[in-house]
Amino acid sequence: MPNTLEERDWRLLLGRIKDGECTPFLGAGACFGAFPLASEIAQEWARQYNYPLEESCSDLARVAQFLAVEYDPMFPKGEIRKLFKNVAPPNFKKRDEIHCVLADLPLPVYMTTNYDDLLVQALKNRNKDPKQELCRWNKYVKNQPSIFESESGFNPTPANPVVFHLHGHYKIPQSLVLTEDDYLDFLVSISKDQDLLPPRIREAWAGTSLLFLGYRLADWDFRVLFRSIVTYLERSIGLSHVSVQLVPGEDRISEKQKQKAQEYLDRYFGKLEIRVYWGTCREFSAELIRRWEVFCHGN
């Protein structure tokens, strides 16, 4: 089974990007090589704090939940802040670095479930003036100033885009969606009150083609994101979307099992017009930048 999209899917995606009608969603896989994997953080915490459930010691949400119970709910979030503030950014001069590829595109709205600000740094590196915004999913974050409220008439543009942190930012640890309880509370909050999302963000969710990058279907952040956004996908007037997915269990299963898993996920996504690119973010970004340059040259 090929990992790339069909030619018609590429043409549609590139056309939407050119028109500013594409909204990227960045997940943890987009930061591979810059930040430790969630499973690596979970395993280190499990070892350091004597996590008792060995079978789930790679699950960051579960291990973080354990620390929240053993200490307090802010303890694991404080640990994330300490960890993230000491991580050096990737080389933004690399042509296929995913944040740089996205920053070069003429898009007004970017979404992320990551806690870092690498996308903001990449946009600034490309001489753009990005703004950051948080999802106000709990009482503390609701009191944070909003760019959509404090800057009268603010409307994101490709030169002045917004990066919307759906699951919080490490510099405001109270905003992080990290533990199992956090994910459940977040899902309840966003389901009950759609005004948690600014109108411009809701418009992007329902009115543009979405590009999911760096997610695995089994990850908590993607599962909660998918349930949060499914209503908007159903309203998206037939727009198609793209999800870049790592091949499930690539290093542990046979080719036959891999193909069956891919076919299942293709059917799962297909109900909501989501085309699947099977590969890494680096592979996708290299192909995207190559095709984008050819597309712009020919148009």
Which domains are assigned to the chain? 7-35+95-298 (3.40.50.1220), 36-86 (no CATH)
Question: For residue 236, what pLDDT is reported?
Answer: 59
Q: What is the pLDDT of residues 190-209, one digit of tens each?
A: 888 877 888 899 889 888 88
At 125-135, the pLDDT tens digits run 999 999 999 99
Q: What is the pTM of this model?
A: 0.89
Distances (CA, A) of 12 to 197, 201, 251: 27, 22, 32
Average pLDDT across the chain, whole number: 85
**Residue reference for tokens 């790339």:** 4
- pLDDT above 70 as % of the chain: 85
pLDDT exceeds 60 at position 99 = yes
- What pLDDT shows up at residue 261? 66
Confidence of residue 26 (pLDDT cuts 50, 70, 90): very high
pLDDT band of residue 249 (cuts 50, 70, 90) is very low
